[in-house]
Structure 1
Amino acid sequence: MKLSFNEATTLKNSNLEKDLELCEKLGYDYIEIRTEDKLPEYLEHHSIEDLADYFRTHHIKPLALNALVFFNNRDEKGHEEIIHEFKDMLEKGKKIGIQYIVAVPLVTEEKILKKDIKDSCVKVLTELSDFAKPYGIKIAVEFIGHPQCTVNTFSQGYDIIQAVDRDNVGLVLDCFHFHGMGSSLEDLRKADGSKIFILHIDDTEDFPIGFLTDEDRVWPGQGVIDLERILTTLKEIGYSGVVSVELFRPEYYQLDAEETIKTAKETTLTVVSQYFEIETAGVK
């Protein structure tokens, strides 16, 4: 298993250029690039070709563009915007060599029937799958463990990707989101490990199910998520993808970016290496 850094972890105390420099220095293999803020900021002073050149000449590689946000149950205008954004992500992603585009389901206070959520997700993901196929880029759907997300449990997300039934459509399993709405380990145990494209590692403070927010995340191994059982189950079902550390902790944004990225790696390796062999490039 190889190690990735998700840029949310340094959202307020770094930028893409600095994240790349530090992740290269500290021996990460991959990076998930934030498309809502850090990539646009980078492109104000650089080109996408500059970014491609960086990856060609350094060890660290781009894992994913994160994220295509709120892709399902949109009105006609909203759907057109999603398609336009996705096509742009495919073009940029092809130039820099990404493997995945992370797709996040709609978060809304509107009550939508589960059947209508599933129908919309399947329809849109099938359309996106067709667009992505010539590019060789896969779509990693990330269920969000919060009551207002339209897809908020592992079982619901897995049911949707099974219905889509495309080789280039799978899931992100974020341990925080898995815990956040009480997803079932039995459901995970029944899953095909090859349909989980990315593992997000994190931990959380001990709040009740349904009340957790991203800011409650803490370093892996320093919270209440049953990471042992999640990781053991992933190993049992043959998961062999990348582990990507993703935190949104306000206190961690007050740290120096290098300290944040270094501690994220150390805490991740301490937990994950008990269950998977981790191959990293080492510290320069």
Structure 2
Amino acid sequence: MRSSIATVCLSGTLAEKLRAAADAGFDGVEIFEQDLIVSPHSPEQIRERAAELGLTLDLFQPFRDLLSVEEDIFRDNLRRLESKFQLMQRLGMDQILVCSNVATATVDDDEVRVDQLRRAGELAARYGCFISYEALAWGKYVNTYQHAYDLVVKADHPNVGTCLDSFHILSRGDDPSGIADMDPDKIFFLQLADAPTMEMGILPWSRHHRVFPGEGDFDLKNFMEQVAKSGYNGPVSLEIFNDEFREAEVGRTAIDGLRSLIWLADKTATRVPDSPLELPKLADAQSPRGFDFVELRTGRLGEVTKALHQLGFRLGGYHQSKPDFQAWVQGDVRIIVEDEGSTGGATELTGLGVIVDDATAAAERATALKATPVPRMTGEDEEDLHPVFTPDGSELYFCGPGQTGRGSTWIPEFGFEPDETSSSETSDVLINSVHHIALAQPRHMAAETRLFYSSVLGLEPAVPEFIPSPAGLVHKQAIEGENVCITVSAAPEGSEQGGFFAEHYPEHIAFGSDDVFAVAQRAVRRGLKMLPIPENYYDDLAARFGLEPGFITKIKALNICYDRSSNGEYLHFYTAPLGNTFFEVAEVRGDYRGFGWADEPIRLAAQYRALRDDVRGIPR
């Protein structure tokens, strides 16, 4: 598969965009005209630089408003088009994107369009160039891919083909199945974009909210299946208009883009294994059996270990070659704490260990999806957990199942046996699982993070939700497997409050228990500082669910929150913030599916007050 990316997807100068595309591993780029116009480098210099970087220049774009015009206007349009062909010769590229007319179209006649398209093809042929004609979803007369293709077929010129753009097709709700029956020789170019479902005009949706494949709601797997069935074998390119992408770090965005293409190619190769696109096929994702451990780093060691002790964890040991790392255990739940010294630095979630059947294969899939291996020295008698960096710089570890099938092959490195439990008394083990991990990301990085974990671990995205907070709406979405769940939150940033909250928005570990009351009572006896829940919440809770006064009194005394669905109940409490991290303990009753997000506004408001008080000294 020949991968490509439009320079409009990336931030920075044209030179920086080319560098980032090459470093990420793209084969080529589309040159967006404005990027060239504002560049201080000549077309010849851009051509030379691309060659040095090993990039092909695949498409010059866009050329607007060529067809559906009166003859005098069309002759002037040909003059404009010829100047672009001359520029393309200097760039060393031979294909131009021509969009259906939006602004100047006055002649609604397919015969006129066919004649004009053929004449444009004749001009292109004189320069050794090719025209990819694309139907914009908001084109005045031509706005469907089938109409554009029909015009190309009728024009019947070897230098004229069509460009298929997933956004322009899927945003209209068009059925892409007709692509499979197209003549592949008439499909000159393929542009891919995903997008979240939004209620707005197609034009602003297109210009500001496109995302990479797998990060939105379009069925791109079906779309690519139809393209592969057609026999198309040209570049597979990304064309993303997104305000946040244009502000994000260019190298990270480029890697995110290529990861999305690899993920989509892998999905398509499963459906159409003999495609001439030669789609790369990854090793199957291994569904994690569970979390083996969670790793924290802190400059407030006493604060963190005190909270763990209050929740019922005990110190299992210190790492044999990395004494700054401690293992805290309770049953099969293991928390690794890295002590960075008495810096006062915020406690942060820095690593996740997942149990997989084949750790080496899982790590190979991750690196194929553009994850960078973590350089790490492993002692002779120490387990290689194959860590890779996640997009935010934390680490993902792949842990083999071990003899017991529950992971923890690394346990002897902390000085105790693999089958040693966390306590001599089984009754002391009240926390028995990691229910989910809740990550927080800047708004422009949340979709990237979701795609990373879903593609690497084979998790499936759930329906997103928007939760009100004192600083604005928080976008939350879960990505789930049978035994592992990760939620990703994007805090608001567009105000003073939003900027503060985005900077300090906490991540957390949600522990599972069969008796949340017993955990809470033990923790309170040991002095745990819980997140205080206002009395107004419990008054509302009683009204919403008709709960018994005695039950309300019981949960209120322990700051326990409650949610209920038709299939079950969710009882949970939160610790006070520990820097940028906190703990949640949850008991699931029945077949409840979810994370207690009905209570998120209460948590977010309480944490917002606590964080402002701690960081700025502002009264709650």
Query: Is the TM-score greater than 0.5?
Result: yes
Q: Is the 2:180–2:230 Cα contact (8 Å) retained in structure 1?
A: yes
The normalised TM-score by structure 2 is 0.42
TM-aligned CA deviation for residue 39 of structure 1 = 1.0
Amino acid at match of 1:123: D
- Secondary structure in 1 aligned to 2:189? strand
> Residues 145 and 179 of structure 1 are in contact (CA less than 8 Å); yes or no, is this contact kept in structure 2?
no
Residue in structure 2 matching 1:269, options 238, 262, 266: 262
- Shift of the alpha carbon at 1:283? 10
C-alpha distance 62-110 of structure 1, shift in aligned 2 (>3 A) = closer
1:96 counterpart = 2:91: yes
Kept after mapping to 2: 8 A contact 1:155/1:184:
no
Q: Contact between 1:143 and 1:151, CA under 8 Å: does it hold in 2?
A: yes
Amino acid at match of 1:262: I
Cα distance in 1, alignment partners of residues 260 and 209 from structure 2: 17
C-alpha distance in 1 between matches for 2:201 and 2:170: 9
- From 63, 69, 83, the equivalent of 1:74 is 69
Equivalent residue, structure 1, for 2:121: 129
User: What is the one-letter code of the residue matched to 1:128?
Assistant: A
Paired position in structure 2 for 1:6: 6
Which segments of 5 or more consecutive residues in structure 1 lack a partner in the other structure? none
TM-score by length of 1: 0.87
- Map 1:110-129 → 2, pairs under 5 A: 113=108, 116=109, 118-129=110-121
1:22 corresponds, among 20, 25, 31, to 20
SS of equivalent residue, structure 1 residue 253: coil
Asked if 1:251 is matched to 2:248, the reply is no
Query: Cα 1:97–1:121, aligned 2, differ >3 Å: closer, same or farther?
Result: same
CA contact (8 A) 2:68 2:106 kept: no
Does the 8 Å contact 2:65/2:103 carry over to 1? no
From 105, 117, 123, give the equivalent of 2:100.
105
In terms of mean alpha carbon deviation, does 93-102 or 166-175 score higher? 93-102
- Structure 2 unaligned segments of length 5 or more: list them: 270-278, 282-367, 373-620
How far apart, in 2, do the equivalents of 1:193 and 1:248 lie?
27
Pair 1:190–1:209, CA change in 2 (3 A): farther
Cα deviation code 1:58-104 (max 9, x no counterpart): 30010011011111123455424421221121112123221311101
Distance 1:211 1:26 in 2: 30
Q: Distance in 1 between matches of 2:99 and 2:152?
A: 13
CA–CA distance in structure 1, aligned partners of residues 146 and 57 of structure 2: 28
Secondary structure in structure 1 of the residue aligned to 2:237: strand
- 1:238 pairs with 2:231: yes
SS at match of 2:96: strand
Aligned match of 2:154 in 157, 163, 170?
163
Give the match for residue 42 of structure 2. 47
Structure scoring higher RCO (CA < 8 A, sep ≥ 6) equals 1
Find the aligned partners of 1:283 and 1:121 in 2 and give their Cα distance: 47
Which amino acid in structure 1 is aligned with residue 130 of structure 2? K
Looking at structure 2, the residues matched to 40 and 81 of structure 1 have their Cα atoms a distance apart, in angstroms, of 21
Percent identity between the two aligned chains? 23
Greater Cα offset, 270-279 or 63-72: 270-279
Letter in 1 for 2:45: D
Structure possessing the higher radius of gyration over alpha carbons: 2
Out of 35, 46, 70, the position equivalent to 1:38 is: 35
Q: Give the letter for the 1:59 counterpart.
A: G
Contact 2:61–2:96, Cα closer than 8 Å, also in 1: yes
Give how far 1:144 is off: 1.1
Output the CA distance in 2 between the equivalents of 1:209 and 1:191.
31
Q: 2:105 & 2:122 partners in 1: Cα distance?
A: 29
Deviations 1:135-191 (A, max 9, x none): 221100111123x44321111111100110111111111111111223333422221
Equivalent in the alignment of 2:580: none
Structure 2 CA distance, aligned partners of 1:53 and 1:110? Answer: 38
Q: Residue 64 of structure 1: which of 55, 59, 62 is its match?
A: 59
Measured after TM superposition, the shift of residue 49 of structure 1 is: 1.9
Within 1, Cα distance between the matches of 2:169 and 2:50?
Answer: 32
Higher strand share: 2
CA distance in 2: counterparts of 1:263 and 1:127, whole angstroms: 40
Q: Secondary structure at the match of 2:216?
A: coil
* Deviation of 1:210 (Å): 6.5
Q: Deviations over 1:41-65 (max 9, x none)?
A: 12xx222221222234330010011
Distance 2:73 2:14 in 1: 28
CA, structure 1 residues 112+208, in 2 after alignment: closer, same or farther (shift >3 Å)? farther
> Using the alignment, how far apart are the partners of 2:105 and 2:78 within structure 1?
23
Give the Å deviation of 1:262: 1.7
- Match of residue 131 from structure 2: 139
* Distance in 2, Cα, partners of 1:151 & 1:209: 21
CA–CA separation in structure 1 for the residues paired with 2:64 and 2:106: 19
Alpha carbons 2:58, 2:93 under 8 Å: kept:
yes
For the aligned residue pairs, the C-alpha RMSD in angstroms reads 2.5
Deviates more, 1:214-223 or 1:168-177: 214-223
1:57–1:234 distance in 2 versus 1, CA, 3 Å? same
Q: 1:14, 1:149 → 2: CA distance? A: 33
Structure with greater proportional helix content: 1
Contact 2:64 2:99 in 1 (8 A): yes
Amino acid at match of 2:4: S
* Alignment correspondent of 1:191: 182
TM-aligned CA deviation for residue 4 of structure 1: 0.4
CA distance in 1, matches of 2:150, 2:259: 34
